[in-house]
Amino acid sequence: MGKTGRRTGAGCRGRRKKDVLERCVLCGRLTPVKRDSHIAGRRYYVEGAGQLCGRCYYDVYQTG
């Protein structure tokens, strides 16, 4: 472990790769959406709330 109490080495590199992707604002799952992608091109993005995963999007906006 490093000075911050966090693991260093390979575990950190893997964590950084995950940080490239957005997480669902409701459940916290990783989505396939890159953080630097424009919101106009995103699926399941809700303005004022943020990025949702497909499952949460359908749970919230399910019609019928």
Q: Residues 16-30: pLDDT tens digits?
A: 666 899 999 999 999
Is residue 48 within 8 Å of 60, Cβ to Cβ?
no
Q: What is the pLDDT of residue 61?
A: 95
More confident position, 7 or 39 = 39
Q: Global pTM?
A: 0.69
| Beta pairing, strands 50-51 & 45-46 | antiparallel
Contact assessment for residue 35 and residue 17, using Cβ atoms and an 8 Å cutoff: no
Tell me the three state secondary structure of residue 48.
coil
Question: In this model, does residue 1 exceed pLDDT 70?
Answer: no
